Amino acid sequence: MPVQFDVSPDVADIVRRIENLVRDVVLPVETEHRGSAHDAPDSVRRALQEAAREAKVFSPHVSAEYGGLGLDMRDRAPVFEAAGYSLFGPLALNCAAPDEGNMHLLERVATPEQRERYLRPLAAGAARSCFAMTEPAPGAGSDPSALRTTAERTSAGWLINGHKWFITGARDADFAIVMARTSGEPGSRGGATMFLVDAGAAGFTRVRDIETLDESMFAGHAELRFTDLEVPADAVLGEPDKGFEYAQVRLGPARTTHCMRWLGTARRAADLAAERAATRKAFGGRLGDLGMAQQLLADNEIDIETSRALILKACWDIDTGAPAGHITSIAKTFVAEAVNRVVDRSLQVCGALGISGDAPLSRLYREVRPFRIYDGPSETHRWSIARRVIRRAQRRLEEGR
């Protein structure tokens, strides 16, 4: 079956409405807060989301049953890219990390009762969430099997103890999806379980908010501790000991939607550079008439179009049920690095203006750099990609081909 690249008229209309919303409403709010959503009050989020509802572009990724537009991954690609043109755009559409990935996971794995309690308010923007897997060294990070947070069975449910950090959106979140080890030892490939935990529960402590290079993730990144945190038996998301399997349900699509959003950021940077090159006078002509500037602009277009094609291939495989782990790793690695290249080139084209506070490029530069680490460092993905390549080569040799 061939990959379809065309966009339906309905999706094109959604994209147009998002572009208008971002230009008229979201970018002015981003400018007012200088691109930082870490400390933005919740009233900012609610106002942006109300504007998105009025534009009929709210929760595009969620099924209609829970109030969303029900777009598949291919249709999300241009929609999320349009939202990502502003650092605050995904927040407005309620498709920012980590909530967007958590909604996908809840729709796929949660019981009907859990979906009503957690997914429905999350999809409506009435609640926020976080995903608590990452731990300080030597705990879970790019290697999830290093998981050290534990959950032990009790007569009433489970008792969770552990230490998490870099948990995006944890401040004032209503609930967390907590990954804890229920069997095995750190290093075991299985034995993890996901739990739905209300943030106000006794033993759930936000230690601090972590200062980071990026600032556009709403409520920032926090360090958490769970100390004799009791949860009932029905807090288990899915089945015990299958948490790592469920993580793949979330992580493949989430990596791809990250790429969509950050591609919008890259396109914004490229547009700023192109406009500067078209208007800036230098050396007797336009900056854009100089060959070196033209090469930077051309390479931006090459990276953007290549990234868009890779994203669509990953989306196609996810939507059609094909194995998608390999292509989502490739897409995440390439797009993360391509986005960095585009923003870096764009800043170079704009020169002193680019590094000043008078243009958003310096903010975008800070925001996109962590993407090469989030959702798996490029090096981890390359290791995973190479292992698959070697396994395929071994199979061919064994089969005599």
User: Domain spans of the chain?
Assistant: 9-96, 129-241, 244-398
Nearest to 265 by CA among 216, 223, 329: 216
Cα–Cα distances in Å, from 131 out to 36, 139, 196, 222? 21, 15, 10, 11
Rounded to 5 degrees, φ, ψ at 20 are: -65, -45
Q: Are 179 and 220 in contact (CB under 8 A)?
A: no
Just give the CATH number of 129-241.
2.40.110.10
One fold for 9-96 and 244-398: no
- Predicted confidence at residue 1, as pLDDT, reads 59
> Secondary structure of the chain: what % helix, strand, coil (to 5)?
55, 15, 30
Give the Cβ contact number of residue 112 at 10 Å. Answer: 8
Distance in angstroms (rounded) separating the CA atoms of residues 325 and 15: 28
Q: Which residues in the chain come in under a pLDDT of 50? A: none
Q: Are 276 and 266 in contact (CB under 8 A)?
A: no
Tell if the pTM clears 0.85, that is, is over it.
yes
> 299: burial class by Cβ within 10 Å (0-12, 13-18, 19+)?
middle
Angle between helices 291-319 and 243-279 (to 10 degrees): 150
- Predicted confidence at residue 282, as pLDDT, reads 87
Helix (H), strand (E) at residue 209: strand 204-210
Cα–Cα distances in Å, from 227 out to 123, 163, 164? 29, 9, 12
How far separated are the first and last CA of the chain, in Å rounded?
26
Just give the CATH number of 244-398.
1.20.140.10
Candidates 1.20.210.10, 1.10.3720.10, 1.10.540.10, 1.10.760.10; CATH matching 9-96: 1.10.540.10
Sign, Cα dihedral of 262, 264, 268, 271: positive
Distance in angstroms (rounded) separating the CA atoms of residues 118 and 106: 8
User: Which three-class secondary structure state does DSSP give residue 272?
Assistant: helix
* Per-residue model confidence as pLDDT tens digits over 313-348: 999 999 999 999 999 999 999 999 999 999 999 999
